[in-house]
Amino acid sequence: MTINQAHLEAKRQISFQSVVGQANGNGHTTTSANTSDRYVIYHQSSEKMEELSDELVNLVITSPPYYSKRNYGMPDQIGLESTIEAYLDSLGRVFAETKWVMKEDGALFVVIGDTYVDGCLQSIPHRLALRLMDLGFLQRNCLVWKKINPKPEATTNRWSTSTEFVLFFTQSVNHRFDMDAIRVPYKDDALCPIPPDISR
């Protein structure tokens, strides 16, 4: 770990403990929540979302802890299971609960990266996608997020990892996807030149 990485990790830990500490003032997680007129933050596991009624949520966007990547300093945290199967089981419990709170026409986006174990890529995003389909989610897309500035890797026997996956799921084939609502218009004519008038 470089000095910069250690500094960033220390800042992240301080920030995390600050948020957790707001739950009850002593740094332990509780079922209490921070609220405002725009959001509610629940300080607890998403394996049980009993505060939410069924079919309440329109959109879920999440990036769960990646397998064997980071220690958040919490007991029984997701990501530090002894096996990949146990990790997928933990995520399965979260997404089974997610399915109950999502509306029938809701959408789920999961950002997840892969992990190497003993030098071998584990295809964790694809394994998770299969688990979610087994739960009844319908996979609509598997988007590849190409990072512009990926973390350097000291590897000599493979390419460096520069992508992660964004898995897009719905619960119904009747889900409406409005591409125009998120379309970004061209701002430079050079990117989309007007063809010459060939009628002259």
Residue 27 in this model has a pLDDT that exceeds 50 = no
**Where do the domains of the chain lie, and which CATH numbers do they carry?**
1-44 (no CATH), 46-174 (3.40.50.150)
CA angle (83 as vertex; 164, 159 as ends), nearest 5: 35
Sort strands 102-112 and 57-62 into parallel, antiparallel or unpaired: parallel
How far does CA 138 lie from the centroid of its chain? 17
Distance (Å, rounded) from C-alpha 81 to C-alpha 60?
24
User: What pLDDT sits at residue 192?
Assistant: 60
Residue 140 pLDDT exceeds 90: yes
Mean pLDDT on 101-113: 95
**Mean per-residue pLDDT, 148-177:** 90
Here the tokens at position 110 are 């999961």
How would residue 35 be classed by pLDDT, with cut points 50, 70 and 90? confident
